[in-house]
Amino acid sequence: MFKPRYTITHATLNRLTQIARAQEVIQHAHLVPKWEISLRREAIIRQAHASTSIEGNPLSLEQVSDLAHGRTVMAARRAKQEVINYLGVLEHLHELSPGEKITEAQVLAVHRWLTRGMLDNPKYVGAYRKMQVVVANRLTREVIFRPPQAKDVPRLMKEFTSWLNVKQTATLNPVLAAGIAHYEFVRIHPFVDGNGRTARTLATLILYKRGFDTKRFFALDDYYDSDRPAYYAALNNVNPKTQDLTAWLEYFAEGVAVSVEQVREKVLRLSRDSHKRAQTGQVALSERQMRIVEFLHDRGRMTNKELRSMLKVSRQAALKELNKLIQLDVIHPEGHGRSLHYVLS
């Protein structure tokens, strides 16, 4: 069984405390649904840009935003495909990994989505490597890291995913669990390509499943992309013999703290209307309701027919969902008869 080695230093503990305080502010701040959607979309776009940029993708944040909104972008097919794949994974994270556990099959599904249309040999998509690979400096070709042998990958991944789902890990602080998983996945390097993107997605998934970032407001990869040499140095500075993750976890916790603090500042700016906060409090929406609000955020209006088509429900069930949102003052109807539609309040 995989058993990580680390010490929780004062620096890490201070960061975890800072994160908890910022989270408290975020969770209790008043946010109307359209602000939640905006923050979530912004985080997904920034994360897709940062994570692919770390791997050398040349697209700018503006171009990634254009792709996210379905606009035409003049760039190489491969660069666009990489970003589109990452956006898709982040948008459908809950579908790719249903339930409480994270399984090998789910990890393979994430990799399959991230790398579709990207690898020269399709047999490597969503499949563990069967060859030895090395991590080398792109410019000097100097070998930085030699992952375990290919024959050991299935066993190591089985031990790793087992650790993810044991009771001890469930009681571990989500930030520590995500940081440990991030590093161990990169160390195993189970795929021919796409290991970094999959590792960062896995860390995001753990935080989501553990209730740390259920609203998906945080773009953790922004921190790594802001100083790539520091990111790679933190990964490479773990002693391969002792596998002590203490310094790496200090770095990882700092990245989460910076990201959460940025969100806290945005949330406070958006929730300064104290009168409205006192009147209504924070509006919590179900996943289905969030999908409706996202649709309205993108399209501006929605009919009962469009909702039935999107949710695959009956007319009565669609009307029930719409009425709930009307009662919450999230949406309101406009028009009459055949022209009846719904817009954000």
CATH of the domain at 313: 1.10.10.10
Host domain of residue 139: 10-270
3-state secondary structure of 343: strand
Q: What is the pLDDT of residue 27?
A: 79
**56 shares a domain with 140:** yes
Q: Categorise residue 338: left if φ over 0, alpha if ψ from -120 to 50, beta otherwise.
A: alpha
Residue 279 lies in a domain: no
| Final residue in a domain of this structure, among 270, 297, 315 | 270
**222 shares a domain with 336:** no
| Final residue in a domain of this structure, among 207, 237, 270 | 270
**106 shares a domain with 73:** yes
**76 shares a domain with 153:** yes
**14 shares a domain with 90:** yes
Residue 275 lies in a domain: no
**CA–CA distance, 258 with 93 (Å, rounded to integer):** 23
Residue 263 lies in a domain: yes
**CA–CA distance, 311 with 288 (Å, rounded to integer):** 8
**Strand positions, DSSP E, 45-120:** none
| Final residue in a domain of this structure, among 270, 294, 311 | 270
The bridge status of strand 135-136 relative to strand 143-145 is antiparallel
Residue 94 lies in a domain: yes
Residue 1 lies in a domain: no
Residue 36 lies in a domain: yes
Amino acid at 87: L
**19 shares a domain with 64:** yes
Q: Are 96 and 109 in contact (CB under 8 A)?
A: yes
Alpha-carbon separation of residue 218 from 30, 84, 130, 208, 260 (angstroms): 17, 19, 35, 10, 6
Q: What is the pLDDT of residue 82?
A: 97
Of the candidates 202, 220, 198, 221, the residue with the CA atom closest to the CA atom of residue 210: 202
Interacting residues of 156 by C-beta distance below 8 A, sequence separation 6+: 2, 148, 188, 190
Q: Which positions of the chain have pLDDT values less than 50? A: 273-279
The values of phi and psi at residue 5, to 5°, are -115, 125
Interacting residues of 158 by C-beta distance below 8 A, sequence separation 6+: 104
**318 shares a domain with 239:** no
- Report the domain count for the chain: 2
3-state secondary structure of 46: helix
**CA–CA distance, 345 with 325 (Å, rounded to integer):** 10
Q: What is the pLDDT of residue 66?
A: 92
**300 shares a domain with 233:** no
The alpha carbons of the chain give a radius of gyration, in whole angstroms, of 22
What CATH number does the domain containing 164 carry?
A: 1.10.3290.10
Burial class, 72, CB count within 10 angstroms (exposed 0-12 / middle 13-18 / buried 19+) = exposed
Residue 131 lies in a domain: yes
Q: What is the pLDDT of residue 213?
A: 75
Amino acid at 19: I
**CA–CA distance, 84 with 222 (Å, rounded to integer):** 18
Q: What is the pLDDT of residue 79?
A: 96
Of the candidates 311, 319, 320, the residue with the CA atom closest to the CA atom of residue 292: 311
**313 shares a domain with 235:** no
Tokens of 35: 């602000």
What is the DSSP secondary structure assignment for residue 308, as one 8-state letter?
Answer: H
What is the DSSP secondary structure assignment for residue 40, as one 8-state letter?
Answer: H
**152 shares a domain with 117:** yes
Q: What is the pLDDT of residue 203?
A: 95
**294 shares a domain with 148:** no
End-to-end CA distance of the chain: 53
Residue 194 lies in a domain: yes
**CA–CA distance, 246 with 257 (Å, rounded to integer):** 17
Q: What is the pLDDT of residue 286?
A: 75
